[in-house]
Copies of this chain bind each other. A is one copy, B any other.
């Protein structure tokens, strides 16, 4: 009934586009999300998770057109679970995330750019709303 996910992360590669039999566009990509934590020794560690993201319809069209590898995004969506049986007849499942709203937070600097590379190899862009024509508050 309540199933909500909010993530900030970076695309590990360009989005992939495919189409449902109905003609609806599906755009998928993998999102790298970092977590920082202190280990037992009190030192900061960083861990990265890679989540499978899926989007449909108009949002999928905009994401396929406007996102690319390395972009940092803010994503709101919900958890889903694919279920299947493997060749051995064993039940398998995989969690994925369906995107519902996405904002582009930043793009990595072009290496050949005449712009001075900014801090941490990233160029700041004003957050861009990728949720289209509608009035979306995020």
Please list the residues of chain A having a beta carbon within 8 angstroms of any beta carbon in chain B: 1-9, 33-38, 49-51, 74, 76, 78-81, 93-95, 98, 100, 103, 105-106, 115-116, 118-120, 122-127, 129, 133-135, 137-138
Contact = CB atoms under 8 A, between A and B. Distances in A.
Contact of A51 (B51, B81, B103, B138): B81
Contact of A3 (B119, B124, B126, B137): B137
Contacts of A120: 124-126
A17 to B, nearest CB: 21
Contacts of A115: 116, 118
Contact of A74 (B1, B38, B51, B76): B1
A3 B3 CA distance: 14
Contacts of A95: 49, 51, 94-95
A4 B123 contact: no
A36 B136 CA distance: 8
- Residue picked from A35, A38, A106, A127, most chain B C-beta under 10 Å: A35
Contact of A1 (B1, B8, B80): B8
